[in-house]
Structure 1
Amino acid sequence: MKASETKLLDLLAKGSQFVIPIYQRTYSWAQSECAQLWDDIVRAGTDDSLNAHFIGSIVHVEKGLSNLTSQEPNLVIDGQQRLTTVTLLVAALAEALGRLPEQNREPLDGFSPKKLRNRYLVNNDEEGDRYFKLLLSQTDRDTLKAIVGGAQLPKHRSERIESNHAYFQGRLGSQGTDYGAICRGLAKLVVVDIRLDRSQDNPQLIFESMNSTGRKLSQADLIRNFVLMGLEPSTQERFYAQYWRPMESDFGQAAYEAQFDDFVRHYLTVVTGEIPRLADIYEAFKAYARAATSDTGSVEPLLSQLRDYSGRYCAVALGQEKDKRLAAAFQDLREIKADVVYPLLLEVYTDYELGTLTTGEVAEIVDLLTSYIFRRAVCRVPTNSLNTTFATFGKGLRKERYLDSVKARFLSMKSYRAFPTDPEFAEALKTADLYHFKRRSYFLRRLENHNRKEVVTIEDYTIEHILPQNEKLSQEWRDALGDNWGEIQARYLHTLGNLTLTGYNSEYSDHPFTVKRDMNGGFKHSPLRLNQGLGQLDTWNADTIQSRAARLADAALDIWQMPELPPQVMAEFQQPRAETAFSIEDHPNLLPPARRALFDKFRSEVLALDPTVTEQFLKLYVAYKVETNFVDVVPQVARLRLSLNLPFESLHDERDLAWDVTGRGHWGNGNVEAGLDESSDFTYIMGLVRQAYEYQIAE
């Protein structure tokens, strides 16, 4: 590796060609970043005290560390965004100067349109792709070539390349532009030129360690480079065209940039059974990839698997499902933002493609997932632990009886994971504030359109409070509600019974109920199902609000259903958990009376944390788990050594009684250990254990 400080324009002038490898991401700078570069150039060009303006580094691979007059193209590892943006600016500058009178076309020596093009944009004595100083990858390539070459833009063009070039054209075409300042500013741009020798340097490691000033790479960018960077160019081209490019196309540019990292996280959850942290997706993928390719050394099966899962994700999460029944079910999931279920659905969709499940069975599973998430939201059940719940949901399913197994799993979940019952759901619907409910639009749409072929687009309507929100109710309303009208308004205003849809919100205003009922477009004449029955009422008060809420809640129970299984079928899925071959008798350090009493007290407290906590005696330790182990007890002669399964930095331990064992071999799960003996502050140690439990639940 050789690094030197150089002017960016000198780098472009001396290099024969810079090529963005096919595994690199597409050009991604937004107009805001172009504006920042423009401002930096103007400032540098107008301030004589500034000799240079540093904009980052350019890392490129050569076959050897020859000088930049070599005819070998330089493969750019880092710096594509800066190189491309400056190229777009230089191209726009050459165009703008070319439109000036002859005597004004070179505002600074060396910055005429011809010199700009021949020094920084093209190799004038070359043909074909070698004619261009900078070659991008994918659809960016043809668009930039057209701009630099003065040709018509291609049909399938890069929107970012086109729009950013147009941005610079606009800035350069504005009245009063100081072309001399722009040229001087460009001449002051400085980069660190880092040249790598493929035979001696590891481009991937260097790429990962770069902390450039450009736009931060996504986890997906790093993954793509990791998979493709070390391959021969012909293999890169084939793998990119066969696997990666189809994934990018399926996602589309906007979704690829916004959601591909999320997809990879869900994919890794499915194939590894563990949920990587958002910031650790790349490291988790590398670990999985190295394990998956250790036997064959070929990355192609891994890419093929990733491609298959991306297709499933696009069907589930991006609206690309072709079957209408499934598409509608997936749409409901997306509307309630139930991303936590995607690992399970990726597994379900895989089995669907393999023929293990029918379309109807998949739709029923999706409906149950939607019902579970939605009921919990209405009942205000905290969402913590749902990631872990659905990461492990498929592990215990009996796939020969897939649908019944899913239902049994839902019905067997207890405590904070339990499926809200019909009475719980109905009561919450009738009493909760649904006006400020985040999923309000979805809820009303489903209520209005359930079993209806002529779908009503509720976006054409607004929410109507039948009993008005106005704190200064008219006398007519007060008479209808009774002496405690203020209490009734406060209690029922935003509840289901008092909410409906209308296209006449402004006309209804705060009028009495009978006016809203009988007016043109009133409740008597409304075509909406939500308004059925209102036209036959003579008054609106607490009784009628409660009655309507009960009726709509019954309808909701028919939409968001609870799973059902006959008792004899449920019993088949409730076989006792297989006991391990070990017991307390296999741990002699737990048998002395004082130690046994301490252990019994400890296990009693841990099992009391939640009904879902289970205990398992293993050969070397005793495990306590919910979804997975949160504390393990390693019986020792002098004490009980506790392994707490949470990051050391996440533990609040003001007495420093725990210690960090990250990276050290030890029995038990987790990176934190603490000791417990007869002289310990039992309450304090249990506080540390509770943190490990709560950390797992929160995750």
Structure 2
Amino acid sequence: MKGEARPIYKMFDRSDTKLQIPVYQRNYDWKVANCQQLFNDLVDMAQEGRKNHFFGSIIEIGDDYGGEKQIIDGQQRLTTVYLLILALVKLLEEGKISSSKMNPQKIRDIYLVDQYVSDVENISRYRLQPVKHDAKAMMCLFGPETDYIQKSHQTTNFRFFQEEILKQRISTDDLWDAIQRLIVIDISLKRDEDNAQLIFESLNSTGVDLTEADKIRNFVLMDQPADRQEEYYNNYWHRIEEDPRYEDNEYHVSEFIRNYLTFKLKKVPTMGKVYSFFKAYVEREKLDIEVILQDLTKYAGYEKQIRDAEIPSQKVNDILKRLAVLDVNVTRPFILPLFDYWHEGNISADQVAAVLTSIESYIFRRLIRGMQSNGLNKLFATLFSDSKRHVGLEKDYVEIINYLLLSKSESSRFPTDGEFVENIETRDAYNLRQQTKYYLFDRLENQDSLERVNVIKGMQEGRFTIEHIMPQTLSATWKKELGNGYQEIYDRWDNHLANLTLTAYNSSYSNKSFHEKKTAEYGFDHS
């Protein structure tokens, strides 16, 4: 390992070397605020006559003979400066700014592209080679504006730099001079001599800007040869993390791996230590990297099936959707291995549906009972492994799960029928958690009917609201109708389920008498 201070733009000025962002790195994600700070620093440096500005460190790994250098740390800084130089060059080429010192074609050929590679869609043409989605967005910036990929951070920041340059807070020549005085510490590693993973961990020990999934991706891919990195990323990791519905998908991957580790280890890693637990698990079990990636990919497939509720059994899908409404992810470390057990042919779809129905009842009864959920992490971490110990004892698998759930005591126990009836009648149902109310009113309306009303969507959009039959503020008419004991009746029933109904006409009911609510147009008599 060797390190030296050098201007960051010189990192691109190596005719025999390209800087590659390896597939295990996260996408470019600097925001405009980061770019604004850099541009302000450059302006200040020029106006104050400072000799240089320190811009952090870059860690690269490769050999001493040119070719490709992989960027282990510092891709955000490198990419941002590359975009800034490109923004300058294109404005000069288009004649929107002028310079007495800069030759845009020369700068393009030395710092941005390899002039001897003519194919503009070949990533090897570019001095900086980002990961896939970023690479496409960056290459488009070299072409006409109509081809730009608008949603890319690269495009956003490139446009920002062009706008700032056109403001001419400093001259083009002064800006280029300031860029040339941005200094980084270039730390160069040799693949066969330096432990890149340990160095990376040391630099990122605070976890700033890196999710647990980021660190795990680096761990499984960093020490692999470049061709294997590409293979493992495309065949496994890309399939694990790809989900366009989540803007912050790295968090959801971290959560998935936490659930995976929970049923493997039979204990729950804290969210901030998922990477540490994962690394220890792989090293302790001496697991081959491809084997663990294959296993993760398999369970990521189950995770998607569970989340999307799109499997061949409609019974199972319906229950998965209801569990999703309850939003109790604590069950996932049990359901993931349950799906694997099912896919291996050990149980049927009907048995899976019956098991999930028991889980659904267990969770909902506890919510209505108002029981704490902090003990459930441990229960669902071990429920599948506990169930496997009873397999082969001439018991149906559904009976095994029911036996295990009913055998729990104290904070983890299964509420009885009597307790549930008591609580569903006396609980303040109006002020339940929102997800629990969605579930409760959906089940009351639809049960298992094939003619369904989309209650949850209606409640989310505000079209359906919860109506107090006896109003929250009693009018003189209501007090008279309830009689002398009206206050006692009000206190007993105000927010309880017996006094609540779902309606699309809440505003028209207001504090009207019970008779008016019953007989009005769209009143209770027509419900």
State the TM bucket, normalised to the shorter chain.
Answer: 0.7 to 0.9
In structure 2, distance between residues paired with 1:166 and 1:479: 71
Q: Matches of residues 230-629 of structure 1 in structure 2 within 5 Å?
A: 230-249=223-242, 254=247, 256-293=249-286, 298-321=288-311, 323-397=313-387, 398-400=390-392, 401-438=396-433, 439-458=436-455, 459=458, 460-470=463-473, 473-526=474-527
In structure 2, distance between residues paired with 1:84 and 1:212: 23
Cα deviations across residues 554-612 of structure 1 (Å, max 9, x unaligned)? xxxxxxxxxxxxxxxxxxxxxxxxxxxxxxxxxxxxxxxxxxxxxxxxxxxxxxxxxxx
Asked if the contact 1:27/1:81 (under 8 Å) is kept, the reply is yes
Q: With CA pairs under 8 Å and 6+ residues apart, which has the higher RCO, 1 or 2?
A: 2
In structure 2, distance between residues paired with 1:515 and 1:282: 62
Asked if the contact 2:35/2:157 (under 8 Å) is kept, the reply is no
Asked if the contact 1:41/1:185 (under 8 Å) is kept, the reply is no
* Cα pair distance change 1:448/1:482, threshold 3 Å: same
Q: Which amino acid aligns with 1:38?
A: Q
**What does residue 124 of structure 1 align with?**
115
In structure 2, distance between residues paired with 1:487 and 1:264: 52
Q: Which amino acid aligns with 1:41?
A: F
Shift of 1:477: 1.3
In structure 2, distance between residues paired with 1:51 and 1:444: 68
In structure 2, distance between residues paired with 1:214 and 1:190: 24
* Cα pair distance change 1:88/1:482, threshold 3 Å: farther
Structure label with greater radius of gyration: 1
**What does residue 599 of structure 1 align with?**
none
In structure 1, distance between residues paired with 2:289 and 2:228: 11
Shift of 1:250: 5.3
Identity of aligned pairs, percent? 32
In structure 1, distance between residues paired with 2:512 and 2:505: 12
In structure 2, distance between residues paired with 1:93 and 1:100: 11
Q: Which amino acid aligns with 1:312?
A: Y
Secondary structure of the residue that 2:247 maps to in structure 1?
A: helix
Cα deviations across residues 265-323 of structure 1 (Å, max 9, x unaligned)? 111122222322222211211122123336xxx42222211111111122223545454
Secondary structure of the residue that 1:17 maps to in structure 2?
A: strand
Answer yes or no: is 1:63 the counterpart of 2:60: no
Q: Matches of residues 84-123 of structure 1 in structure 2 within 5 Å?
A: 84-101=79-96, 104-106=97-99, 109-110=101-102, 113-123=104-114
Answer yes or no: is 1:79 the counterpart of 2:69: no
TM-score (norm: length of structure 2): 0.87
- Unaligned 5+ segments in structure 1 are 65-69, 527-699
Shift of 1:141: 2.0
Secondary structure of the residue that 1:216 maps to in structure 2?
A: coil
In structure 2, distance between residues paired with 1:377 and 1:223: 35
Asked if the contact 1:45/1:184 (under 8 Å) is kept, the reply is no
Q: Which amino acid aligns with 1:21?
A: P
Asked if the contact 2:137/2:155 (under 8 Å) is kept, the reply is no
Secondary structure of the residue that 2:472 maps to in structure 1?
A: coil
Q: Which amino acid aligns with 1:230?
A: D
Answer yes or no: is 1:148 the counterpart of 2:138: no
Cα deviations across residues 169-207 of structure 1 (Å, max 9, x unaligned)? 674488777664765664454322211122321111111
Cα deviations across residues 388-440 of structure 1 (Å, max 9, x unaligned)? 11111123322343111001111111111111111211221111112221121
In structure 2, distance between residues paired with 1:175 and 1:518: 69
* Cα pair distance change 1:163/1:373, threshold 3 Å: farther
Asked if the contact 1:63/1:198 (under 8 Å) is kept, the reply is yes
* Cα pair distance change 1:166/1:358, threshold 3 Å: farther
Q: Matches of residues 26-37 of structure 1 in structure 2 within 5 Å?
A: 26-29=27-30, 33-37=31-35
In structure 1, distance between residues paired with 2:132 and 2:376: 39
- Worse-superposed segment, 119-128 or 258-267: 119-128
In structure 2, distance between residues paired with 1:99 and 1:10: 25
Secondary structure of the residue that 2:67 maps to in structure 1?
A: coil
Shift of 1:211: 3.5
Secondary structure of the residue that 2:142 maps to in structure 1?
A: helix
In structure 1, distance between residues paired with 2:464 and 2:510: 15
Query: Pairwise CA RMSD of aligned residues?
Result: 2.9
In structure 1, distance between residues paired with 2:292 and 2:258: 15
Cα deviations across residues 29-78 of structure 1 (Å, max 9, x unaligned)? 4xxx33232233224414633554444321111213xxxxx642210111
In structure 2, distance between residues paired with 1:176 and 1:428: 70
Secondary structure of the residue that 1:73 maps to in structure 2?
A: strand
* Cα pair distance change 1:44/1:424, threshold 3 Å: same
Secondary structure of the residue that 1:200 maps to in structure 2?
A: coil
In structure 2, distance between residues paired with 1:229 and 1:426: 56
Asked if the contact 1:17/1:133 (under 8 Å) is kept, the reply is yes
In structure 2, distance between residues paired with 1:60 and 1:301: 28
Q: Which amino acid aligns with 1:335?
A: V
Cα deviations across residues 87-116 of structure 1 (Å, max 9, x unaligned)? 334334433444444xx323x843x64455
Asked if the contact 1:44/1:52 (under 8 Å) is kept, the reply is no
In structure 2, distance between residues paired with 1:122 and 1:320: 46
In structure 1, distance between residues paired with 2:486 and 2:183: 73
Q: Which amino acid aligns with 1:289?
A: V
Secondary structure of the residue that 1:500 maps to in structure 2?
A: strand
Shift of 1:85: 3.1
TM-score (norm: length of structure 1): 0.67
In structure 1, distance between residues paired with 2:495 and 2:150: 48
Return the match for 1:168 from 150, 160, 169: 160
Q: Which amino acid aligns with 2:85?
A: V
In structure 2, distance between residues paired with 1:24 and 1:171: 29
Secondary structure of the residue that 2:428 maps to in structure 1?
A: coil
In structure 1, distance between residues paired with 2:73 and 2:255: 24
**What does residue 205 of structure 1 align with?**
198
Return the match for 1:137 from 131, 136, 159: 131
Q: Which amino acid aligns with 2:32?
A: C
In structure 1, distance between residues paired with 2:29 and 2:134: 10
Q: Which amino acid aligns with 2:381?
A: A
In structure 1, distance between residues paired with 2:322 and 2:234: 33
Asked if the contact 2:325/2:438 (under 8 Å) is kept, the reply is no
Asked if the contact 2:519/2:525 (under 8 Å) is kept, the reply is yes
Q: Which amino acid aligns with 2:508?
A: E
**What does residue 39 of structure 2 align with?**
41
In structure 2, distance between residues paired with 1:52 and 1:436: 60
In structure 1, distance between residues paired with 2:357 and 2:351: 10
Secondary structure of the residue that 1:207 maps to in structure 2?
A: helix
In structure 1, distance between residues paired with 2:70 and 2:230: 14
Shift of 1:515: 1.8
Q: Which amino acid aligns with 2:13?
A: A
